[in-house]
């Protein structure tokens, strides 16, 4: 790895320490930000440009978050990339932001790949978080985009979104473990955000659910979540309603399962070992399919305690070194 690329990589890692801290003052004097740009199709995106570009552009896809591409954590990540010399494009995936799985979000990612396609002297990478990590893998595997993408880095990707929701039998009874409860309640809150009127849930309770959902992965204990669910939501059976509705979305078309042989670039899969929302075995299944392709690409899998569900976990030196190696794909 060239020394300039290594310096940029370490700059990114240092900047990532403050991602997720609302009061952190991000350094923006060396970054040009262009907000709410409009793609030819009418989709929106933000653009973060460094003063000294490294010849790399990254399209970063956010996951299920109420603020979408304005989520402060996503913006901090984009600024961290730009601060290390990487041009960052943040698409507005407003369907997934609202708990809806719609191919229009994937279409916008594919459109931006075409718009920001680079020549051989410049590179175009994709980064995805949570369910949108599945989207960037699917986009990179498509015939029209595969040759245009130089790298894919994912955090907490899902192998098959439809299979993730086809767990109705286990969801009919109440969960037993904390991990099961965490995912159970999160799915229920996503459903309430999308369908609370149809469920007959009062608006003030829906508002409380949005407050909980906004900082679900970082602020609230599982005890608080479980008590909130049982005292305010259980009688509405929101999860069963949402599960039934979400099966009408384009889950298979958005999932990388069965499509990964189309990927031509290097792939780095990063997943939290104790991810409550999307278990780490999802990234293991992605890695297995990539490895079994007729012409396998160079892929790397890191399952680490440094992350929960894309939010920071406990720092351990050895795992931090492995994490740095996984991120170097962006610059290497």
Return the minimum-mean-pLDDT range out of 56-65, 97-106, 298-307: 298-307
Q: What is the pTM of this model?
A: 0.88
Name the CATH topology of 3-161+251-330. Answer: Rossmann fold (3.40.50)
**At 178, is the pLDDT very low, low, confident or very high (cuts 50, 70, 90)?**
confident
Domain boundaries of the chain, sorted by first residue: 3-161+251-330, 167-246
Mean pLDDT of the chain: 87
Q: Which residues pair with 38 in a beta bridge?
A: 44
Task: Tally the residues of the chain.
Answer: 332
- 303-328 pLDDT, tens per residue? 988 777 666 656 666 677 888 888 88
Q: How many helices (H) and strands (E) does the chain have?
A: 14, 8
pLDDT at 317: 63
Region 293-299: mean pLDDT is 84
Residue-wise pLDDT for 24-67, tens only, equals 545 555 789 999 999 999 999 999 999 888 789 999 999 988 89
Asked whether the beta carbons of 201 and 210 are under 8 A apart, the reply is no
Structure tokens at 146: 């595969």
pLDDT band at 256 (very low <50, low <70, confident <90, very high): very high
- 75 confidence band (pLDDT: 50, 70, 90): very high
Q: Which one has a higher pLDDT value, 88 or 3?
A: 88
Place of tokens 């297995």: 288
Three-state secondary-structure class, residue 152: strand
pLDDT at 177 over 50: yes
pLDDT at residue 330, rounded to an integer = 86
Pairwise CA distance, residues 327 & 330, whole Å: 6
| Residue burial 28-56, b: 16+ Cβ < 10 Å; e: rest | eeebeeeeebebeeebbbbbbbbeeebeb
**140 compared with 296, residue with greater pLDDT:** 140
Which string of DSSP letters, residue by residue, matches 30-48?
TEEEEEEEE-TTS-EEEEE
């Amino acid at each position: 790895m060239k020394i300039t690329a290594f310096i940029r990589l370490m700059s990114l890692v240092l900047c990532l320490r403050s991602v997720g801290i609302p009061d952190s003052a991000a350094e923006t004097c060396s970054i040009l930000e262009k907000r709410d740009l409009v793609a030819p199709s009418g989709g929106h995106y933000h653009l973060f440009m460094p003063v000294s570009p490294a010849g790399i552009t990254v399209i970063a896809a956010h996951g299920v978050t109420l603020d979408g591409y304005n989520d402060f954590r996503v913006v901090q990540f984009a600024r961290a990339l730009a601060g290390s010399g990487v041009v960052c494009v943040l698409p507005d995936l407003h369907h997934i932001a609202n708990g809806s799985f719609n191919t229009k979000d994937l279409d916008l990612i594919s459109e931006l790949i075409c718009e920001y396609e680079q020549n051989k002297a410049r590179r175009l990478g994709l980064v995805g978080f949570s369910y949108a990590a599945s989207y960037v893998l699917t986009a990179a595997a498509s015939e029209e985009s595969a040759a245009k993408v130089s790298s894919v880095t994912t955090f907490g990707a899902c192998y098959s979104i439809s299979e993730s929701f086809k767990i109705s039998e286990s969801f009919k009874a109440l969960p037993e473990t904390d991990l099961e409860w965490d995912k159970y309640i999160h799915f229920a809150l996503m459903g309430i955000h999308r369908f609370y009127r149809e469920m007959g849930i009062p608006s003030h309770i829906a508002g409380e659910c949005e407050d909980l959902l906004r900082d679900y992965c970082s602020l609230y204990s599982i005890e608080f979540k479980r008590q909130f669910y049982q005292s305010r939501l259980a009688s509405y059976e929101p999860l069963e309603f949402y599960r039934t509705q979400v099966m009408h979305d384009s889950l298979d078309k958005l999932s990388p399962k069965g499509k990964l042989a189309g990927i031509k670039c290097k792939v780095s899969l990063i997943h939290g070992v104790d991810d409550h929302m999307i278990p780490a075995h999802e990234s293991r299944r992605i890695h297995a399919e990539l490895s079994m392709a007729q012409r396998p690409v160079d892929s790397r899998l890191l399952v680490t305690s440094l992350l929960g569900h894309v939010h920071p976990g406990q720092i351990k030196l050895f795992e931090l070194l492995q994490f740095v190696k996984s991120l170097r794909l962006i610059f290497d």
